[in-house]
Amino acid sequence: MIPLPLARIAEITSGALSGMADPRAVVRGPVVIDSRAVEPGSLFVAFRGARVDGHDYAAQAIRAGAVAILATRPVEAPAVIVPDAAAALAELAAAQVAALPDATVIGVTGSAGKTTTKDLLARITGRIGPTIAPMGSFNNELGHPLTVLRADAGTRFMVLELAARNLGHIKDLTRIAPPQIGVVLNVGTAHLGVFGGKEAIAKAKGELVEALPRTGVAVLNADDPYVREMASRTDARVTYFGRGEDAAIRAENVVVDVRGRASFTLRTPSGSAHVSLKLYGAHAVENALAAAAAGYELGLPVATIAEELSQATPRSRWRMEVTDRADGVTVINDAYNANPDSMRAAFETFEVLGRGRRRFAVIAALRELGDEGPALNAELGRLAGSAGLAGLIVAGPDAEPVLQGAHAAAQAATTAPGVPHGPVTPVSGPQPVPGPQGPGAPSPVAPPPGAQAPGPQEGAQDVWQAPDAGVPQQPQGGQEPQQAWQPPSGGAGPFGGPLGGGGAHPTRIVHVPDAEAAAAELNRWLRPGDAVLIKGPRAMGLERTAELLLGGAAQ
């Protein structure tokens, strides 16, 4: 940050010095809200949370080198006392932006892909000047000003991610750092329950383009009708990106390799260049186009933009992280967050990356979907149930619609014309997970002679499978079995994506309580060469499942 004496900080935030604070003491940064991140010269902002009160760590922060505490009540340390810590943080950040008139602020918003696009664009702008960008997804009323406060006198670009959980949130963030370029990616179903509908989501996302000056640029997704309509809400110049011919910045000849990485021709009004992404998933093309369009508006040559896009690797954790274990098992950790749109994209990528292999998925019920939650979670289940998986694990609470959807999709697959099917057979005790059949196919996992086969992990519910043929068996205890089948190869799933391969072998479907139980269950199933997709809402913490599968400790 730009160095400021405590007296100036108190003036900006309408605060008062306390605890014998020296008004001439200079804060050089960083500004932090976690006492463990304090460095010499820091300003520690104390927030009172549901479980922890930052004010209790004031003395610890001073011992670690903080110059003072920005607090809402007196503490036993030099402090600037303010009525509202979040408002004071925003005021301090706004003052910093005002002191950097030569820095270009670029805002990125959308229902999905914000962090990836922000990371790509920060790499591109880094070619022409010092750039700051959020760490991970620092995109709300706290993360946004904290990112801004990392800027200093040499900063030329601020690439900022703007999130909204309600109307007015993005508008408030743009007041802190007024953007000159606004990038809107898409309007999807994330936080649908909070907003009440996609029209309201579009209204909230469009607050970014409304904040642009007449001399600014709105970078809009031509392929999303909600985003395209935002052109009428700004006086700024508009440039479109997309896959259609009416987009000024577009992708042509898109090809996805066997690892799910896309390559394409980047077409611009002044020329074209080839891009080979190292990011996973065809949906990364749209993120790359958005970053390319903003870079083009900054005057970068198309060859330079294509070079940066082609060299970019994931910067933020738990977003399509693809790791190959020593035994050949591929783990896709896309567990940072999830919504119906990103779930669809993840399964489409998984179908490509895991083709010809036994595939497993760990998912969880989506949240913040409002009245549409049960229906959308049932659709998620149908997506997973029709994906040609050898096994599906649904973790956490509120899983019933997902499980019902998965069973329904599997049942529909087995009754399709030409698909061998038979009566439902309950699984009692451990069963090998079906795999590839025929010459050269690996044998199912079996316990050594004389050994007792392991039962289901504690907390895992029994699974019902549909064999290719057989004699009907009655469910134990008079209960109706939960039906689960594996769909045939080929065809289209209910989300419009292709079904995975795997023949008519049954899918194993299990419900477990948490991320740790999911890892334990998977470890019973996996064998060399398999592939696993892990994706769910942030609150489920499914990144722990990936960490445990990869031999790490849960964080």
The binding site for ATP consists of: 110-116
Lookup: tokens for 70: 């920005």
For 261-276, b/e burial (b = at least 16 CB within 10 A) is bbbbebbbeeebbebe
CB-based contacts of 190, cutoff 8 Å, min separation 6: 111, 112, 201, 339, 341, 342, 368
- Cβ neighbours, 10 Å, residue 259: 12
Q: How far apart are CA 387 and CA 201, in angstroms?
A: 29
Q: Which H helix or E strand runs over 304?
A: helix 302-311
- Tell me the β-bridge partners of 266: 251, 273
Q: How far apart are CA 421 and CA 414, in angstroms?
A: 6
Residue 478 backbone zone (phi > 0: left; psi -120 to 50: alpha; other: beta): left
Q: Which H helix or E strand runs over 512?
A: strand 508-512
CB-based contacts of 311, cutoff 8 Å, min separation 6: 123, 278
> DSSP letters along 34-98, please?
SGGG--TT-EEEP-B-SS-BGGGGHHHHHHTT-SEEEESS--SS-EEE-S-HHHHHHHHHHHHHH
Task: Determine the Cα angle at 278 with ends 108 and 160, to 5°.
Answer: 15
Annotated binding residues, as ranges?
Answer: 110-116
Q: How far apart are CA 459 and CA 454, in angstroms?
A: 14
- At 533, phi and psi to the nearest 5? -110, 130
> DSSP letters along 451-484, please?
PPPP-PPTTPPP-EE--SS----PPGGGPPPPP-
- Tell me the β-bridge partners of 240: 220
Q: How far apart are CA 34 and CA 230, in angstroms?
A: 38
